[in-house]
Chains A and B, each alone.
Chain A
Amino acid sequence: MRSIYNYLKDIFQGVWSLLKGLQVTGKYFFSPGKIVTQKYPNNRKDLVMFERFKGEVVMPHNEKNEHKCTGCGICEINCPNGSIEIISKMITTDDGKKKKAIEKHIYRLSMCTFCALCVKTCPSNALAFSQEFEHAVFNRALLIKVLNKPGSQLMKGVEL
């Protein structure tokens, strides 16, 4: 008797759970609510990417053309693909000290896997991800980018 009860219970519980699933998809079918599809090339102008999106590595500069990169080379060491290369130079500061600064922060987009190790390990938060994702170019050389803008300087107070 017990087994027959369990058998019937199985059937009704199974049907009940199936109906619950059907209810969810049925509700979506008749009232979809928010459509998640992005009609990409059409909405190109007002397309907003989300903050976590890893488009490409950039070096944010402030309005005085200053960045935070001290040229320590930690990003270069941490990059698993060797897509970052730092060319540094020696400069003399106002009070006559000799200091290391970056000449060029070279970033090879074509070799980057967007693992974010450079951004995470940068001690002075000089690197960040932009939300730019249209990377197609006609020449491979255009994928080698120099992140520091010409004539830019180290921001005051980053290096003590």
Chain B
Amino acid sequence: MFDFSVVTKWIDTGLHNSMSPFWATVAEMLIIGVAILVFYALIGLFLVYAERKVCAFMQNRLGPNRVGPFGMFQTVADLTKLLFVELVPIKNADKFLFNLAPFIVIIASFMAIGAIPFALGLHAIDLNIGVLYVIAVSAMGVIGILLAGWSSNNKYSLIGAMRSGAQIVSYELSVGLALITIVILAGTMQLSQIVEGQSDGWFIFKGHIPAFIAFVIFLIASTAETNRGPFDLAEAESELTAGYHTEYSGIKFAFFFLAEYMNMFIVAAIAATVFLGGWMPFHIRGWDEFNQVMDYIPTFIWFIGKTFFVVWLMMWFKWTFPRLRIDQLLTLEWKYLLPINLVNVLIMALMVLLGWHF
């Protein structure tokens, strides 16, 4: 397995040799910021394209096929258009909050991406409470959505924002509890150690039934948390035109749009890290030759592959299920997911206590 920390160490020592420790740290932060920014934009563009293609294939269509080979530059063209679109100023809107909201949404997803281990040694910040940090930070995005709805001075926006608030408040619980189930099994909240703990089998296999239930619940709840279909009540095109971002245009709208897809990526990355082993190759305890063969595939490929598998699952959900009504949404959470989840945490704790996991 190639260790990316060789590269990062080399950059680190190089910077420390040429400037004072303070400026070296500043330069490192800048490099990481720019790298994540570029990654963010590329993944965002790719996900929009992938979503359109996946949706098309599920409906027996072709999807974008005009701009470039297989329509690959469609999203680049769309983004270029969005950059040139006029930013329409809204009368009677709360100007400051209106302009602040897209940044809060994008900063929240930006902060979450910093804590995700992309490959062996490619990890911007390894907090010892990584899981808690990611949940806390990714939940901050809803503040941006609420601000956008409130400051737009528009009924559709406000209703969309309030729905989003109710949704996050309820589904955040399920996301947290589903992750806690695995934290019990792993015995740590540090994401790098969670990945290390899966070196002899991913947690979804090690924890078998409760881990699988937790994975399914995490998928449902995190789909709801990112405001994607079938839980896209906050946007609900057919009811609220565009929900909380009705009044936004141009690059501000692009921020919301990009943040939605990035949140999907982040949630999928967390699911991949916690349940499917992150960058850890597919290992089976005792099969040493098999494990060595698996190690030849780069860790970054493993991570991206798993993440896109989860992303694909979420797209599959979106293009299969109809949108829930608000009462059905809350019923699903409070009457079904939450009780199942609490029992599941108990079962997992028992299992770890009695050593019934692999």
Contacts and interface: CB of A to CB of B under 8 A. Distances in A.
A35 B62 contact: yes
Contact of A39 (B54, B57, B65, B319): B65
**Which bucket holds chain B's interface residue count?**
10 to 19
Interface string A25-57: 110110011111101000000000000000000
A28 B320 CA distance: 11
B321 A18 contact: yes
Interface string B25-67: 0000000000000000000000000000010111111100100
A10 B6 CA distance: 53
A7 to B, nearest CB: 8
Interface in B301-328: 316-317, 319-321
B336 interface: yes
A28 B65 contact: no
A8 to B, nearest CB: 10
B319 A25 contact: yes
Q: Among B56, B57, B317, B319, which residue has the most Cβ atoms of chain A within 10 A?
A: B57
B217 to A, nearest CB: 12
A39 to B, nearest CB: 7
A33 B60 contact: yes
Contacts of A32: 57, 60
Nearest to A18: B321
**Which bucket holds chain A's interface residue count?**
10 to 19
Given A21-B321, A22-B320, A25-B320, A36 B57 contact: no
B60 A35 contact: yes
Contacts of B321: 18, 21
A29 B54 CA distance: 7
B320 A21 contact: yes
Given A21-B321, A39-B65, A26 B60 contact: no
Interface in B52-109: 54, 56-62, 65
Contact of B61 (A11, A21, A22, A35): A35
A24 interface: yes
Nearest to A21: B320
A40 B87 CA distance: 34
Given A11-B336, A25-B316, A25-B320, A37 B57 contact: no
Given A29-B316, A35-B62, 4 more contacts: A18-B321, A29-B58, A35-B61, A39-B62
For the complex of A and B, 10 pairs with smallest distance between CB atoms: A37-B62, A25-B320, A25-B58, A37-B61, A21-B320, A29-B57, A29-B58, A36-B60, A28-B58, A32-B60
Interface of A: 10-11, 18, 21-22, 24-26, 28-29, 32-37, 39
Interface of B: 54, 56-62, 65, 316-317, 319-321, 336, 340
